[in-house]
Amino acid sequence: MSRIDTTFAALKERQETALIPFVTAGDPDLKVTADIILTLVEAGADLIELGVPFSDPMADGPTIQAASERALAAGTTLSGVLQLVAEVRQKTEIPLVLMGYYNPVFCYGAERFARDAAAAGVDGLLLVDLPHEEATEISALMHESGIALITLLAPTTPRERMERLAAAAEGYLYYVSMTGVTGAKKISPQDIQPAVEDIKKMTAVPVGVGFGITTVADAQAVGAFADGVVVGSALVKIIEKNGKSEELLPEVAKFVTDLKRGLTALTS
């Protein structure tokens, strides 16, 4: 079993919801990102999505757009992100999922990327702008390398296509809770619960929910019916506010600890 599969299996046995924080690699720089990742692990994260900075992050709102700009200005490249993963992998077995856009992977070279990502210890890849129908090459390469190609579903996905994507999913399914970009609107758990419960009937893989989850209450509300909750913009704002100050890691740890405590409370 992969690290992703093993993690979700253990959480299911404990009847816990996965906490999946997102941070942008290289914000404020790669060295600090390594410290942030290890802080997330200690604070209770179950999986981590690591954003690969890109100059045109079309699915992201202002908060993560700015994080990408800061990371790129700091000299972050896809090669550097893979080196970061390799470094962190020496210290933790937490599943690490790269999230971003296809252009950096295409420019790096799909075959080379698959080889280097696997060697570094990447567990999953989520490409926001690559439709399933156009992902044949990268999907095959990821499968050969043992890396899960994470599938995105949205409220606007037609049911027939949703069933097809859900049936082919691996690792976990990422349900985008709303139309629009990250961090732009507040989530409405009661509105998305029926869709998530419906999707769970279509697939054997866990279903995580992202976009709009910013507080412990949000995470608890969604965690009551989803297999995982993804928290991105709210965490990235903490990183932006604190930069490289001494308060950064304690503030990150407090936020994530509170989120994990809230999710754990659902089963107590």
pLDDT digits (tens, 9 = 90+) for 166-206: 998 999 999 998 654 444 456 678 889 999 999 999 999 99
Pairwise CA distance, residues 64 & 234, whole Å: 10
Which one from 60, 116, 170, 227 is the annotated catalytic residue?
Answer: 60
What count of other Cβ atoms lies within 10 Å of the Cβ of residue 160?
Answer: 8
Total Cβ atoms within 10 A of residue 235: 23
Task: From the candidates 49, 116, 218, 227, give the one annotated as an active-site residue.
Answer: 49
Tens of pLDDT along the chain (268 residues) come to 899 999 999 999 999 999 999 999 999 999 999 999 999 999 999 999 999 999 998 888 899 999 999 999 999 999 999 999 999 999 999 999 999 999 999 999 999 999 999 999 999 999 999 998 899 999 999 999 999 999 999 999 999 999 999 998 999 999 998 654 444 456 678 889 999 999 999 999 999 999 889 999 999 999 999 999 999 999 999 999 999 999 999 999 999 999 999 999 888 7
CATH dotted code for 3-261: 3.20.20.70
Distance between CA atoms of 171 and 50, rounded to whole angstroms?
A: 15
For 15, counting Cβ atoms within 10 Å of its Cβ (0-12 exposed, 13-18 middle, 19+ buried), the class is: exposed
CA–CA distances in Å: residue 57 to residues 54, 75, 153: 6, 17, 18
- 27 in catalytic set: no
Q: How far apart are CA 35 and CA 143, in angstroms?
A: 30
What are 85's two structure tokens?
């993963």
Q: In the beta sheet, which residues pair with residue 19?
A: 229
Q: Is 170 a catalytic residue?
A: no
